[in-house]
């Protein structure tokens, strides 16, 4: 219901209404004046009302006049010509605007106030009172406390609405009380003007505009000096007012409160502030802007919104410079707000070209790649390190490390920090001439945390590609990552120190170390907001290598939730994680689906040194789905990069191993030979290469029909020791599948299960479903568990997913024949006589217990390979 038709105003609440009765609620502020209404019933009514303009004190006196007359009192209302001394002691004298009486009348009222038997009710504004007014107020307060008007609480309005059978949405009431500050006259005006049809969106824009016009009118009618003071208070940021050392500061606050335009603490009512903002003359604004620059900048940096109204109106270079300085300090800690401040600085008159590099870096740090790119395009011709670092980082994120390297070559940098970033880009694209070059340094400057981090990063990276001291390189890179996190910088870098350290740890088979480095970087917010999705993706990648698919999926989902769109480089990594999970835990159809999505991202990214791990996964998966040719250009480019760097075994071994896996899956000895030779050649100086070379030989023997259980198990455990747990399990599984001796087959299958446990997330999902079933159906047995064993339930789910005997065996590391035995037993338990019947019964039996499965494939017609 709309308030418009029935709400009172502060000027005349009862206009066009019947005469009020004493027992109803005629005013919004009725509960506040209840005591003075009670005084009207006394023989000698005495009271004082204190209220600012529009608080209702005059309306209350008019109402009291009616109540007093109806109670039988003889009432006299004081006017400018009234001789108060002639008013009889028994008559009730009503005095409005006590503070505006002449000195002679004030003296007469004071004499009457001192006489406790003289009836007197006075109303006065809360301003700077004279001694006579103070004496009168104190004398009347001896009869009863002063009735103070001017502020309305929520309960006041609710009582009024209830008494008059009116309704207002709670959100509307909250909004009105917030915008008016509870000021009586503004609340009354807002209730009178409120219309439900203007409430859409909840901002009450139309209502605000109407009330602001009333406020503007009141400003036009007050003393000119007071208006100027109120304007100055209103354009200051929240919390700021007139300087306390100005003599008029207190007087302005008191007078503004008396007019109903300021709160008692001297701050403007919110609607009064916005009204001044909307109506102040431009010339007046210009006069005040010089004093406001620093205050507005401080307000903006602290997150206040008071500055936003003035940005674009105050073309003040001092304000713009102050905003820029605040933005500089916030660029690493809160880049999104820094971007806002830089934009405000430009609108305030700062040269946009002077800020473009810093604005681009802030956009980059906030993760807005497109905005950062657009700003970099505007910075053509600028060669400061910040702009160059940001531009190179953007090229890297887009999957173009060559262009990042070219950016640094086109604009040589002069400081050691940027020189290290340039080296990261150069090594990443295989530019060997960047290795070993001197680093610019300033020996007179004290070392900084960031400087030390970059020094360790460069040394560790160069060591990893030039010497055999892999452990020393890893130690430097781990410390570089820790120092980079401590530095708290969000400046652009082609690759994060944590990622480089984690990759080297993976290259050495240190899965736990790699995980620790990434987890610490995430906990310490390394790189700022832009870096978090990338770090989470590497957490997912490492989790896959550690046979933790549930953790990998969780990290992958969290990375996706952080941004609307991953960068091309991060998108490739995300798809590689998906493919890795599908290759290990899904069926052929699931892997094909993941591969189709991943191969599109390959077209958008150029391979670089720091993408070799995800590339190796994609190479193996492409071979598995028969799409090897599509990834050959990227494989060839990866080999070129490592060869350009001198084929450092620390970086090239896993790539060579992917080549061997590719050959094994394709069954082509020719494609294996070159990679195997490279690993053998590097074996003498690398445990990783030696382990891979030995496992490659054993695997080739297995595929040739030779099954040496001891050699297979030793090679498999060797692969697991260098972080290749999935490959280790596959080697043991292949050996088991080709063993003629059932004991050897069982031994190797047990080894495979030990080295790479199956996905426990599905079992957890089933357990959770069982708990839900038990909660919903107390006393019922879980259907599947009542019929099948745990292993049979596991096999049954794979059957429902459409896997063949061979695929079931490969997934849970059992032989195809064992899978067939399990399924035959399941058929007997279910009483099924056909393949279609067993599948139908399994679907019904598993029901909600089944974890989300990949789309089921049609079973092959060959009865020897399918259930």
Query: What are the pLDDT digits (tens) for 24-72?
Result: 334 566 666 676 677 667 788 888 989 888 888 888 888 888 888 888 8
Q: Which two tokens stand for residue 426?
A: 């150069």
- Assign 283 a pLDDT band (cuts: 50, 70, 90): low
The predicted structure's pLDDT at residue 175: 87
What pLDDT is recorded for position 1?
31
Q: Give which of 341, 403, 399 is closest to 376, Cα–Cα.
A: 403
- pLDDT at position 788: 74
Tokens of 5: 């038709």
297 band by pLDDT with thresholds 50, 70 and 90: low
pLDDT at 785: 60
Across the range 87-91, mean pLDDT stands at 88
pLDDT at site 316:
64
Nearest to 303 by CA among 337, 268, 347: 337
Q: What is the pLDDT of residue 525?
A: 93
pLDDT tens, residue by residue, 785-803: 656 777 777 788 888 888 8
Residue from 683, 694, 609 nearest 660 by CA: 694
Is 345 within 8 Å of 339 (Cβ atoms)?
no
Is the pLDDT score of 17 beyond 70? no
Q: Residues near 821 by Cβ (< 8 Å), separated by ≥ 6? A: none
* pLDDT number for residue 14: 28
Q: What is the pLDDT of residue 353?
A: 85
- Can you give the pLDDT at residue 13? 33
Residue-level pLDDT at 29:
60
Question: Per-residue confidence at 22, pLDDT binned at 50, 70, 90?
Answer: very low
Residue pair 330/337 in contact (Cβ under 8 Å)? The answer is yes
**Who wins on pLDDT, 809 or 221?**
221
766 — pLDDT class (breaks 50, 70, 90): very low
Whether residue 776 is predicted with pLDDT greater than 70 in this model: the reply is no
Whole-number pLDDT of residue 861? 32
Give me the mean pLDDT over the 504-518 stretch: 94
Tell me what pLDDT residue 780 has: 47
Q: How far apart are CA 320 and CA 677, in angstroms?
A: 64
Q: What are phi and psi of 589, to 5 degrees?
A: -65, -40
Q: What's CA 45's distance to the chain center, in Å?
A: 63
The residue with greater pLDDT, 205 or 464, is: 464
Task: Using pLDDT thresholds of 50, 70 and 90, give the confidence band for residue 19.
Answer: very low
Q: What is the pLDDT of residue 2?
A: 34
* Average pLDDT score, the chain: 81
pLDDT of residue 40: 67
Q: Which helix (H) or strand (E) holds 47?
A: strand 46-50
- 618 — phi, psi (to 5°)? -65, -35
Rounded average pLDDT over 298-305? 56
3-class SS of residue 94 = strand
Q: Assign 3-state DSSP to the chain and report helix, strand, coil percentages, each to 5.
A: 65, 5, 30
Q: Which of 118-132, 186-200, 534-548, 728-742 has the lowest mean pLDDT?
A: 186-200
The whole-number average pLDDT for the span 466-490 is: 92
Q: What is the pLDDT of residue 293?
A: 54
Average confidence (pLDDT) over 305-326: 64
Could you read off the pLDDT of 408-438 as tens digits, one per residue?
Answer: 998 877 788 999 999 999 999 998 777 766 6
Q: Which of 453-462, 804-813, 834-843 has the highest mean pLDDT?
A: 453-462
The residues with which 148 forms a beta bridge, in sequence order, are: 50
Of residues 841 and 573, more confidence is placed in 573
Most confident of 295-299, 691-695, 814-818: 691-695
**DSSP secondary structure letters along 571-602:** HHHHHHHHHHHHHHHS-HHHHHHHHHHHHHHH
From the list 609, 632, 606, the residue with the least C-alpha distance to 619 is 632
Q: What is the mean pLDDT of residues 72-83?
A: 85
For the segment 716-732, the average pLDDT, to the nearest whole number, is: 89
Q: How confident is the model at residue 832 (pLDDT cuts 50, 70, 90)?
A: confident
Q: Which residue has the higher pLDDT, 738 or 379?
A: 738
Percent of the chain with pLDDT over 90: 31
Distances (CA, A) of 176 to 183, 186, 422: 10, 9, 58
Query: At which residue do the structure tokens 């070993």 appear?
Result: 436
- The arithmetic mean of pLDDT across residues 565-578, rounded, is 94
* Most confident among 215-219, 224-228, 497-501 (mean pLDDT): 497-501
Angle CA(16)–CA(154)–CA(19) in degrees, nearest 5?
20
Average pLDDT over residues 747-761: 75
| pLDDT in the model for residue 232 | 80
Mean pLDDT computed over 604-622: 93
Rounded to an integer, the average pLDDT of 264-284 is 78
Distance set, CA 534 to CA 95, 190, 495, 573, 611 (Å): 75, 52, 10, 9, 12
| Partner residues linked to 393 by β-bridges | none
pLDDT, tens digit, for every residue of 164-210?
788 888 888 888 888 888 888 888 888 888 887 777 666 688 888 88
User: Which pLDDT does position 764 carry in this prediction?
Assistant: 41
- What's the pLDDT at 851? 40
Split at pLDDT 50, 70, 90, the class of 537 is very high
User: 850 versus 226: which is more confidently predicted?
Assistant: 226
DSSP per-residue codes, 418-450: HHHHHHHHHHHTT-GGGTT------TTSPP-HH
Main-chain phi, psi angles of 443, to 5 degrees = -65, -20
Residue 39 CA neighbour count, 13 Å, CB half: 28
pLDDT band at 451 (very low <50, low <70, confident <90, very high): very high
pLDDT at 515: 95
How many Cα atoms are found within 13 Å in the side-chain-facing hemisphere of 271? 33
Q: What is the pLDDT of residue 759?
A: 54
The pLDDT of residue 393:
95
Segment among 109-113, 414-418, 781-785 with least mean pLDDT: 781-785
Q: Let me know: does 269 contact 275? Beta carbons within 8 Å.
A: no
Above pLDDT 70, what percent of the chain? 81
**Residue 767: is its pLDDT beyond 50?**
no
pLDDT confidence bin for 265, thresholds 50/70/90: confident
572-602 pLDDT per residue, tens: 999 999 999 998 888 778 888 999 999 989 9
Nearest residue to 40 (alpha-carbon basis) of 63, 65, 19, 68: 68
Q: What is the pLDDT of residue 636?
A: 93
In the predicted structure, residue 402 carries a pLDDT above the cut 50: yes
């Amino acid at each position: 219901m709309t308030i418009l038709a029935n709400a009172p105003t502060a000027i005349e609440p009862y206009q066009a209404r019947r005469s009020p009765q004493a027992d109803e609620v005629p005013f919004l502020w009725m509960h506040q004046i209840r005591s003075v209404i009670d005084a009207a019933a006394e023989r000698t009514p005495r009271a004082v009302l204190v209220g600012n303009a529009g608080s209702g004190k005059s309306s209350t006196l008019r109402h009291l006049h009616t109540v007093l007359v109806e109670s039988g009192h003889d009432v006299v209302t004081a006017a400018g010509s009234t001789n108060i001394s002639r008013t009889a002691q028994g008559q009730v004298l009503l005095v409005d605007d006590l503070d505006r009486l002449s000195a002679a009348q004030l003296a007469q009222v004071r004499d009457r106030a001192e006489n406790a038997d003289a009836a007197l009710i006075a109303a006065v504004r809360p301003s700077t009172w004279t001694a006579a007014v103070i004496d009168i107020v104190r004398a009347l307060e001896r009869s009863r406390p002063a009735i103070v008007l001017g502020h309305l609480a929520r309960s006041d309005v609710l009582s009024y609405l209830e008494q008059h059978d009116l309704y207002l949405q709670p959100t509307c009431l909250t909004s009105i009380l917030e915008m008016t500050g509870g000021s009586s006259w503004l609340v009354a005006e807002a209730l009178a003007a409120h219309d439900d049809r203007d409430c859409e969106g909840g901002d009450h824009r139309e209502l605000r505009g109407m009330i602001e016009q009333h406020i503007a009118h009141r400003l036009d009618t007050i003393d000119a000096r007071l208006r100027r003071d109120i304007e100055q208070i209103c354009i200051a940021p929240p919390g700021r007012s007139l300087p306390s050392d100005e003599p008029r500061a207190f007087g302005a606050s008191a007078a503004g409160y008396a007019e109903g335009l300021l709160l008692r603490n001297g701050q403007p009512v919110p609607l009064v502030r916005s009204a001044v903002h909307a109506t102040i003359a431009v010339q007046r604004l210009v006069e005040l802007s010089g004093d406001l620059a620093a205050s507005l900048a401080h307000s903006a940096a602290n997150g206040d919104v008071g500055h936003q109204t003035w940005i674009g109106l105050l073309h003040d270079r001092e304000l713009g410079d102050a905003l820029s300085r605040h933005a500089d300090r916030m660029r690493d800690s809160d880049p999104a707000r820094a971007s806002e401040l830089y934009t405000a600085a430009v609108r305030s008159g700062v040269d946009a070209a002077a800020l473009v590099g810093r604005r681009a870096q802030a956009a980059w740090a906030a993760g807005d790649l497109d905005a950062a790119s657009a700003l970099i395009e505007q910075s053509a011709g600028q060669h400061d390190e910040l702009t160059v670092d940001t531009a190179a980082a953007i090229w890297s994120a887009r999957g173009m490390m060559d262009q990042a390297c070219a950016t640094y070559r086109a604009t040589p940098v002069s400081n050691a920090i940027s020189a290290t970033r340039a080296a990261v880009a150069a090594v990443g694209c295989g530019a060997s001439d960047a290795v070993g070059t001197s680093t610019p340094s300033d020996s007179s400057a004290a070392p900084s945390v960031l400087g030390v981090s970059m020094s360790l990063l460069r040394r560790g990276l160069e060591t990893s590609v030039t010497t055999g001291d892999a452990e020393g390189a890893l130690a430097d890179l781990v410390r570089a990552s820790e120092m980079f996190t401590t530095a708290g910088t969000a400046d652009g870098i082609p690759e994060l120190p944590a990622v480089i350290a984690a990759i080297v740890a993976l290259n050495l088979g240190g899965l736990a170390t790699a995980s620790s480095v990434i987890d610490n970087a995430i906990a310490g917010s390394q790189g700022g907001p832009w870096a978090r999705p990338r770090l989470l993706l590497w957490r997912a990648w490492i989790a896959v290598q550690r046979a933790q698919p549930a953790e990998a999926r969780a990290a992958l989902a969290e990375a996706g939730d952080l941004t609307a769109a991953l960068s091309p480089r991060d998108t490739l990594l995300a798809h590689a994680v998906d493919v890795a999970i599908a290759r290990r835990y899904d069926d052929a159809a699931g892997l094909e689906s993941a591969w189709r999505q991943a191969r599109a991202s390959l077209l958008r990214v150029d391979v670089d040194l720091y993408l070799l791990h995800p590339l190796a996964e994609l190479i193996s998966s492409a071979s598995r789905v028969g799409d090897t040719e599509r990834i050959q250009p990227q494989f060839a480019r990866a080999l070129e990069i490592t060869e350009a760097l001198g084929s450092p075994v620390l970086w090239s071994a896993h790539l060579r191993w992917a080549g061997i896996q590719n050959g094994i899956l394709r069954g082509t000895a020719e494609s294996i030979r070159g990679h195997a030779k490279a690993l053998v050649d590097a074996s003498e100086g690398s445990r990783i290469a030696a382990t891979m070379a030995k496992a490659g030989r054993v695997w080739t023997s297995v595929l040739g029909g030779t099954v040496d259980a001891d050699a297979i198990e030793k090679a498999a455990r060797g692969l697991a020791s260098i972080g290749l747990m999935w490959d280790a399990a596959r080697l043991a599984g292949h050996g088991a599948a080709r063993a003629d001796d059932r004991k050897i087959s069982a031994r190797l299958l047990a080894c495979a299960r030990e080295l790479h446990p199956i996905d426990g997330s599905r079992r957890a999902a089933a357990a959770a479903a069982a708990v839900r079933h038990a909660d919903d159906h107390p006393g019922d047995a879980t259907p599947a568990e009542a019929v099948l064993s745990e292993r049979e339930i596991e096999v049954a789910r794979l059957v429902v997913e459409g896997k063949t005997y061979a695929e079931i065996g490969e997934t849970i590391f059992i032989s195809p024949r064992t899978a067939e035995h399990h399924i035959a037993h399941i058929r007997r338990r279910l009483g099924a006589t056909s393949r279609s019947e067993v599948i139908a019964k399994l679907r019904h039996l598993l029901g909600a217990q089944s974890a989300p499965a990949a789309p089921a494939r049609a079973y092959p017609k060959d009865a020897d390979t399918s259930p």
